[in-house]
Amino acid sequence: MTYSSVLKSNESYLQEKGKIVEILKIQSEALLAIHEFLYQEGLLQMMPVIVSPVTDPLCHPVYKATITYLNQKLQLTKSMALHKQVAISTLGVKGIYIVSPNVRLEKDVQSDNHLLEFSQLDIELKDTSAHEFMSFMEDLVIYIFAKVQDRCEKELKELRAHIKIPRKPFRVHSSWDLRREFGEEFGSRISQREDDLFWITDFEREFYDKEDEVRRGHYHNYDLYYPEGYGEALSGGERDYKYEIIVRKLKERNHRFEEFTPYLELAKADMIGPSAGGGLGVERLVRFLTKRSHIKEITLFPKVPGERIFM
């Protein structure tokens, strides 16, 4: 490979190189604000899980990222949803969080908002309802935005990015109403129309998101969205934790039980309890704060679905 072809293959990053220091400064302040807020709220930080025999199955197609160690098959973490749920059930604490690296080898995603490798701020709160978790996240987002606005005036000016501090409570839309109005692409369509952060609730999704016991097919889950077309910020939900319900939902989604053995054993032993949580994409947050047109501009070594990886 020649020098110029290396430059070409990594052009997008190099074009933005002049701004990467400002972007990283804003990211550092945003992460500092996150740690401050969660510390004040009494949450404890866990270190990330990178490989495990069990991970989040997700609800969209990705290639398997599996490695073998001593004849044991391990997967790279797609999200720590199941680990968070087990951890919060085991520990006698109010909440936990992780700045968690995830690998998702996307099959057919074409968007300006996806990376194969990214980090999410994963949070899980014990004995918490969907409504309570959403309110907690609104306070956190307002805190982050205010701190970044305060501490990064120079960098925001340089990036021509303006931060508007959202007000509580954020607007809430049901996915059912939006699908009727906009069709299947409702998330990106409504994100273009809104001018402040908002929630979309009640999606048919992963088995661990809580299904309403009376209104089957309705879920106590939520996505937080950015306005102005910046798309999804967070996804999460209140959790199902009873063994029989988990088994039924795994079957309904055609999942193989062997892939969830330790999780199922814990659920069968009644060692998983009620909680709610979610994951806020770190790169997506920084992209919104810095108003970049593509998420690859946020990271020094971007991994864009469908593109060759430089480093």
Q: By the criterion CB under 6 A, which residues form the site for ligand ASN?
A: 56, 58, 79, 81, 120, 122, 235-237, 277-279
Cα 31 from Cα 36, distance rounded (Å)? 9
DSSP β-ladder status, 275-281 and 231-238: antiparallel
Cα 257 from Cα 92, distance rounded (Å)? 29
Nearer to ligand ASN, 152 or 267 (CB): 267
Cα 259 from Cα 251, distance rounded (Å)? 12
Nearer to ligand ASN, 59 or 165 (CB): 59
- H/E run at residue 20: helix 17-40
Least distance from ligand ASN to the Cβ atom of residue 13, Å = 25
Ramachandran class of 229: left when φ > 0, alpha when ψ lies in -120 to 50, beta otherwise: left
Nearer to ligand ASN, 56 or 211 (CB): 56
Nearer to ligand ASN, 156 or 272 (CB): 272
Cα 175 to chain center, whole Å?
A: 18
Least distance from ligand ASN to the Cβ atom of residue 209, Å = 7
Judge whether 30 and 289 are in contact, CB under 8 Å.
yes
Least distance from ligand ASN to the Cβ atom of residue 286, Å = 17
Nearest residue to ligand ASN, scored by beta-carbon proximity:
279
Nearer to ligand ASN, 31 or 159 (CB): 31
- Residues near 251 by Cβ (< 8 Å), separated by ≥ 6? none
Least distance from ligand ASN to the Cβ atom of residue 8, Å = 33
Query: How far are the Cα atoms of 163, 181, 278 from residue 134, in angstroms, in the given order?
Result: 21, 24, 9
Least distance from ligand ASN to the Cβ atom of residue 206, Å = 6
Least distance from ligand ASN to the Cβ atom of residue 35, Å = 18
Q: Is the dihedral of CA 199, 281, 230, 187 positive or negative?
A: negative
Nearer to ligand ASN, 119 or 191 (CB): 119
Least distance from ligand ASN to the Cβ atom of residue 100, Å = 8
Query: How far are the Cα atoms of 45, 53, 95, 258, 301 from residue 85, in angstroms, in the given order?
Result: 14, 16, 10, 19, 31
Nearer to ligand ASN, 89 or 235 (CB): 235
Cα 255 from Cα 228, distance rounded (Å)? 36
